Amino acid sequence: MDNPIVKKEDNYEVQIRDFEKGLQRVLKHYNLPAEGIFVEFKQRQIVFKNIESVIEAIEIPKRENSVYISKFIAAVASGLFDAALNYLWDETVLELRKRVAQYDLSYFFDNAVRNPEKRARLSSPEDLTKIDDSDLILGAKEIDLITEVGYKHLDYIRYMRNWISAAHPNQGDITGLQLIGWLETCIKEVISLPMSSIAVQIKKLLANIRTNSISDDEAKEIGSFFLELTQEQVNNLVFGFYGIYTRPESPSESRNNIHKLLPLIWERVDEDTRSSLGLRYSRLVANNEKIEKDLSRNFLDIVNGAEYITDDLRAVEIQNAIENLLTAHRGSDNFYNEPAFARQLQRLVGSKEVPAKIRIGYVLGVVEPYLTNGNGVAWNAEPIYLELIEKFTQKEALIAVISFRGVKLSSRLQFALCQRKYLSMLDKVRNNISSPAALEIIDAIQGYGASLDKLRSDTKLNKSVNNIIKIIKS
């Protein structure tokens, strides 16, 4: 069926061209640039020829409140594609915040904000505006509100919005096909995406923990559900348990429920997550937060987790420095803000070996900013990253090599600059590695035929990586 928006009898093209010419006359009257301001009509027509089938994927009640989609269409008609992309992203972020608030706000904050001090300042839906867009979409992925594929696509659109839309000065070109594709992605992956069955079950479980007393038999049934979860879902759920248990206002009934459930899931929690929970306790000790400290220790004692507690104040300080650096890197003005935090991390690391319990977080905390955000290099910080990378021990170097397995870093590898930096890093850490199996993986990655963001899903390569993980854990 023909799209009524573009019917010839509506003289749509004539009206748009007349509007554009009139506006150009106004700009010239004020001696302002008038050429190259508007996208050519042919590109706008591509959007309008396809927009009906895309928009129909949004239910009418939700469509009636999608103000930024209306602004998106108005910007397209005006030939301002950079502004249209900005409005599209605004609609996507607004919808994602609504979904988070309606799902389980505390669970989201517990997973999206791992710094206890920052987490303590977040409690209401209004606080979602304090979460950077990068952390918002990653946190939504962590709690299964969006899929991993959806996260990757959204991360790309976020990047384009930051560097080619009206959000920042730019000279980039956006085509009609790109714009309609991004609209379809945002609708499919966020605006009209139904909640996954796992997300629904986790939401019910968390609500049950907070409001009801769980019997021993019910706990066993829930333990069977844990077996259906992926490794990431297990880790994220345990962070949610920790958040409920250590929050002073949580009722004792909730803690009793977690006391029954935690032993049933603990065997599936990975070592990095266990160490992270132990480090949280150490930070509470260092900050002299008695109530939370005692609750955190009780949580670990449920599963005999004292071995994951570190008394090394340096480990706590390095972890804080890593989190500060990543916050600066992921935020606006990162080129200006990163160097100071990079120097702080460099001072804390010094010439000593990084404590084993924070080894993975440390390496990933250096690799992510070294790869850049895809747009440019923080020149004043890069020499620091290079020095830290060149000092990696073999185990740290191995973690850097397989860092593509992480969702966030894998998504970064969509971008050409990040790919170049990753391959450059492999060259730099090669000399720190003696394992033949690891060197073979480096060779395989450097000779990889496809885009490097596909490494994470490459089954053959990931089987080889399992041997590297054994070396890291030894």
Q: Write out pLDDT tens, residues 74-116.
A: 999 889 999 999 999 999 999 999 999 999 999 999 999 988 8
For the stretch 417-456, pLDDT in tens is 999 999 999 999 999 999 999 999 999 999 999 999 999 9
- Answer for the pair 275, 150: CB distance below 8 angstroms, yes or no: no
- Answer for the pair 248, 292: CB distance below 8 angstroms, yes or no: yes
Among 391, 399, 313, 389, which residue's Cα sits nearest to residue 361?
399
With tokens 């440019």, the residue in question is: 376
Q: Which two tokens stand for residue 351?
A: 């010439």
CA torsion sign for 260, 265, 270, 276 is negative
What is the rounded CA–CA span in Å between residue 339 and residue 347?
12
Q: Is the pLDDT of residue 311 over 70?
A: yes
Q: Which two tokens stand for residue 335?
A: 């080129």
Left if phi > 0, otherwise alpha if psi is -120 to 50, otherwise beta: which for 36? left
Q: Which two tokens stand for residue 216?
A: 């021993």
Among 189, 199, 215, 223, which residue's Cα sits nearest to residue 107?
199
What is the rounded CA–CA span in Å between residue 124 and residue 277?
24
Q: Which two tokens stand for residue 135?
A: 């952390």
Q: Which two tokens stand for residue 48?
A: 């309008």
What is the rounded CA–CA span in Å between residue 474 and residue 220?
33
Q: Which two tokens stand for residue 225?
A: 């559900």
- Answer for the pair 308, 357: CB distance below 8 angstroms, yes or no: yes
pTM of the model: 0.87
Q: Is the pLDDT of residue 214 over 90?
A: yes
Beta-carbon-side half-sphere exposure of residue 90 (alpha carbons within 13 Å): 16
With tokens 């450059």, the residue in question is: 424
What confidence category does residue 9 fall into, taking pLDDT thresholds of 50, 70 and 90? very low
Q: Is the pLDDT of residue 170 over 60?
A: no
For the stretch 265-304, pLDDT in tens is 999 999 999 999 999 999 899 888 999 999 999 999 999 9
Q: Is the pLDDT of residue 244 over 50?
A: yes
With tokens 């990653």, the residue in question is: 138
What is the rounded CA–CA span in Å between residue 115 and residue 462?
30
